[in-house]
Amino acid sequence: MSFIEFLDSYITANKDVAIASLQGCLRIPSVKDDATVAPGAPFGKACADALTYTLDMCSAAGMNSVNLDGYVGYAEFGPEDAEEHVALLGHLDVVPPGDGWTDGPWDAVVRDGRIWSRGTQDDKGPTFAGVHGAIALLQSGAELRHRVRLIFGCDEESSWQCMEHYFGAAGQPMPKLAFTPDAGFPLYHAEKGSFTATVSRPLGVKSGAISGFTSGLRPNMVPDKATVTSTDESLISQLVAVFPDGVKITSGGFQVTGVSAHGGAPHGGVNAAMLLARALAEATGDSTWVTLVDLCDCDGRGAGIDGSDDLTGPLTLNVGVVNIVNGQLEVVINVRYPATWDDSVLQRCWDNLADRGWTLNHFDHTAPLHVPVDQEPVKTLLSVYRDHTGDMSAPKTMGGRTYATSVQPVGVAFGAAMAGDPEVAHRPDENISIERYLQCIRIYGDALYRLANVDA
Ligand SMILES: [Zn+2]
For residues 49 and 101, membership in a common domain is answered with yes
**Residue 423, helix vs strand vs coil:** coil
Cα–Cα distance, 363 to 196 (Å, whole number): 5
Cα–Cα distance, 158 to 251 (Å, whole number): 35
pLDDT for the residue 265: 87
Domain end residue (candidates: 366, 399, 415): 366
For residues 207 and 294, membership in a common domain is answered with yes
Residue 108: alpha-carbon gap to chain centroid: 23
Among this protein's residues, is 245 annotated catalytic?
no
Q: How far is the centre of ligand 1, averaged over its atoms, from the C-alpha of 306 (Å)? A: 28
| Reported confidence tier of residue 427, pLDDT bands at 50, 70, 90 | confident
Q: Cα separations (Å) of 300 from 92, 333, 384, 392, 401?
A: 35, 10, 39, 35, 19
| Reported confidence tier of residue 200, pLDDT bands at 50, 70, 90 | very high
Mean pLDDT of 354-372: 94
Beta strands in 210-315 (DSSP E): 210-215, 225-230, 247-249, 253-257, 308-309, 313-314
Cα–Cα distance, 257 to 301 (Å, whole number): 24
Q: How far is the centre of ligand 1, averaged over its atoms, from the C-alpha of 334 (Å)? A: 19
251 has pLDDT over 90: no
Mean pLDDT of 130-134: 98
Cα–Cα distance, 65 to 59 (Å, whole number): 6
Q: Is the peptide bond before 123 cis (omega within 30 degrees of 0)?
A: yes
**Residue 133, helix vs strand vs coil:** helix
State what percent of residues in the chain have pLDDT above 70.
100
Cα–Cα distance, 170 to 161 (Å, whole number): 12
Domain end residue (candidates: 327, 348, 366): 366
Range of the domain at 355: 193-366
User: Which of the following is catalytic: 49, 76, 93, 309?
Assistant: 93
For residues 147 and 218, membership in a common domain is answered with no
Question: Quick check: 18 and 440 in contact, CB under 8 A?
Answer: no
171: number of Cβ within 10 Å:
9
25-57 per-position pLDDT tens digit: 999 999 999 999 999 999 999 999 999 999 999
* pLDDT: which is higher, 261 or 130: 130
Interhelix angle 3-26/124-140, rounded to 10 degrees, is 140
Question: Which residues, at least 6 apart from 286, have a Cβ–Cβ distance to it below 8 Å?
Answer: 203, 204, 206, 207, 280
Q: How far is the centre of ligand 1, averaged over its atoms, from the C-alpha of 151 (Å)? A: 14
Cα–Cα distance, 294 to 169 (Å, whole number): 41
36 within some domain:
yes
Question: Quick check: 91 and 118 in contact, CB under 8 A?
Answer: no
For residues 396 and 284, membership in a common domain is answered with no
Mean pLDDT of 183-210: 94
For residues 430 and 346, membership in a common domain is answered with no
pLDDT for the residue 181: 98
For residues 136 and 124, membership in a common domain is answered with yes
456 within some domain:
no
For residues 20 and 89, membership in a common domain is answered with yes
427: number of Cβ within 10 Å:
16
Mean pLDDT of 213-226: 90
133 within some domain:
yes
pLDDT for the residue 280: 95
384 within some domain:
yes
Q: How far is the centre of ligand 1, averaged over its atoms, from the C-alpha of 38 (Å)? A: 24
Q: Cα separations (Å) of 284 from 188, 258, 268, 354, 378?
A: 47, 22, 29, 23, 55
Q: What is the CATH number of the domain that holds 405?
A: 3.40.630.10
pLDDT for the residue 403: 95
Alpha helix (H) residue ranges in 251-343: 272-284, 287-295
Domain end residue (candidates: 317, 350, 366): 366
Kind of pairing between the strands at 183-184 and 416-417: parallel
64-73 per-position pLDDT tens digit: 999 999 999 9
Q: How far is the centre of ligand 1, averaged over its atoms, from the C-alpha of 24 (Å)? A: 19
Least confident of 183-187, 204-208, 429-433: 204-208
437 within some domain:
yes
Q: How far is the centre of ligand 1, averaged over its atoms, from the C-alpha of 130 (Å)? A: 14
112 within some domain:
yes
110 has pLDDT over 90: yes
> Could you tell me the sign of the dihedral formed by the alpha carbons of 250, 251, 257, 263, in that order?
negative
Among this protein's residues, is 299 annotated catalytic?
no
For residues 361 and 374, membership in a common domain is answered with no
For residues 155 and 200, membership in a common domain is answered with no
For residues 74 and 157, membership in a common domain is answered with yes
456 has pLDDT over 70: no
DSSP lists the bridge partners of residue 191 as 369, 398
Q: Cα separations (Å) of 56 from 51, 59, 64, 192?
A: 8, 5, 10, 36
Kind of pairing between the strands at 72-77 and 416-417: unpaired
Q: Dihedrals φ, ψ of 197, to 5°?
A: -135, 140
Question: Quick check: 213 and 329 in contact, CB under 8 A?
Answer: yes
| Reported confidence tier of residue 97, pLDDT bands at 50, 70, 90 | confident
User: Which of the following is catalytic: 76, 122, 155, 156?
Assistant: 156
For residues 217 and 154, membership in a common domain is answered with no
Q: How far is the centre of ligand 1, averaged over its atoms, from the C-alpha of 234 (Å)? A: 48
Domain count, the chain: 2
Q: How far is the centre of ligand 1, averaged over its atoms, from the C-alpha of 294 (Å)? A: 33
pLDDT for the residue 359: 97
For residues 286 and 336, membership in a common domain is answered with yes
Alpha helix (H) residue ranges in 285-357: 287-295, 344-355
Question: Quick check: 214 and 226 in contact, CB under 8 A?
Answer: yes
Question: What's the Rg (C-alpha) of the chain?
Answer: 24
Least confident of 137-141, 233-237, 387-391: 233-237
